[in-house]
């Protein structure tokens, strides 16, 4: 079974631009979570989607948004990029049966200049 995939793997943007990151979960997993990893703040939860609905959200500004499609693929969007948004963005999926365990993708490294 293929693991969680994320595209693109690397991205360079400038301040003020917007960006969209994509995540495809493990086949059969309906839950997708997003995390931000930075040297200063560590790993922080952004939000989770399940069956196309956001069901959990972390403490991030409204510039960070997401959505999930009927095939469980998820996208995360960051508008009006700031330098501090430079980070590794990790996506994780989990199954309905094994709800406690999240499986991570390789991440998208975003650099904002």
Partner 1 sequence: AQTVTQSQPEMSVQEAETVTLSCTYDTSENNYYLFWYKQPPSRQMILVIRQEAYKQQNATENRFSVNFQKAAKSFSLKISDSQLGDTAMYFCAFMKLNFGNEKLTFGTGTRLTIIP
Binding site for partner 1 (CB under 8 A): 33, 35, 42-43, 45, 48, 50, 55-56, 58, 88, 90, 92, 99-107, 109
Q: Are 58 and 45 in contact (CB under 8 A)?
A: yes
Q: In angstroms, give the least distance from the CB of 4 to partner 1.
A: 9
DSSP category for residue 59: S
Q: In angstroms, give the least distance from the CB of 65 to partner 1.
A: 17
Nearer to partner 1, 4 or 18 (CB): 4
């Amino acid at each position: 079974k293929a693991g969680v995939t994320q595209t693109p793997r690397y991205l360079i943007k400038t301040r003020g631009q917007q960006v969209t990151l994509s995540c495809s979960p493990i086949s059969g997993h309906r839950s997708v979570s997003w995390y931000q990893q930075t040297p200063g703040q560590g790993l922080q939860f952004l939000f989770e989607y399940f069956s196309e609905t956001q069901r959990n959200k972390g403490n991030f500004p409204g510039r960070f948004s997401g959505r999930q499609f009927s095939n469980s693929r998820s996208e995360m969007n960051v508008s009006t990029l700031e330098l501090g948004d430079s980070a590794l963005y990790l996506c994780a999926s989990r199954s309905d049966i094994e709800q406690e365990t999240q499986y991570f993708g390789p991440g998208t490294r975003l650099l904002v200049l």
